[in-house]
Amino acid sequence: MTIILDPTPVDARLPPPPILGPAGTDRPLVVLDPGHGGRDPGAVATEGNRREKDVTLAIARAVRDALVASGRVRVALTRNDDSYLALRDRYGLARQLHADLFISIHADAAPNPGASGATIYTLSEVASDAEAALLAARENQADQIGSNEPGRRDADVNRILIDLSQRESMDISARFAALLYREAAPTVPFRPVPHAFASFAVLKAPDIPSVLFECGYLTHAPDLAYLESEAGRNQIASGMRRAIEAHFARRQPRGASPSAADRI
């Protein structure tokens, strides 16, 4: 099996985002990626013109604040304003910062107003179901919005074999997805199948465990109210914080001293 990776380096015009939390590099680094932004609004609520890019940024900030307050990990956001980032630049920034975990935060939309609940996605070239495949295809189109390379397709980038690092990252990602569900499910509404697989371009950093967290549906009124409420954002942030801390408590971050993980 092969994974298609875009070898294009991160846009040199993008300054690295600030890293918050404990000083030094002995604590693991989590990069949070609020989906969409700028000219790419993402999903839009059926009523009220609520946009995914605004919802995801508010949730990412809540998660960031929870992690900073805990002081157990370092954290950075790929964007902290209404700016557009190409998908490759999102995971490119995480690689540039030598992140230990990458979490892309999204919210969904569906023609069926009854569709509801959060889902955690990890990378696979073979989607777990048709809905996951359609969602990945829709999210991967973000790079075509206002792109200077409108004809760019997978055929234009190199195909490489999944090496041991890629396989390890995918395995770790799946284990973190299970942790995130365990820690968040008591307060965050999930779909009946909480973990799915698809070929999301933003998850294709070969050396960083990565998940995409769809927090809920903007087209489902109760989900939308939950995601826009301070209580809902704080519950998501608390569940994610617990999962992140549990994840690193049982893993030694890459490049860290053996005692770093013990201090989580």
125-157 confidence digits (pLDDT tens): 654 445 545 655 666 665 555 444 444 444 443
| Predicted pLDDT of residue 131 | 52
Mean pLDDT over 21-50 rounds to 92
Q: Of 89, 86, 85, 60, whose CA–CA distance to 75 is shortest?
A: 60
Q: How far apart are CA 136 and CA 200, in angstroms?
A: 5
| In 56-156, beta strands by DSSP E | 74-77, 101-108, 118-123
Check residues 16 and 62 and name the one with the higher pLDDT: 62
Query: Domain 28-262 carries which CATH code?
Result: 3.40.630.40
Domain ranges of the chain: 28-262
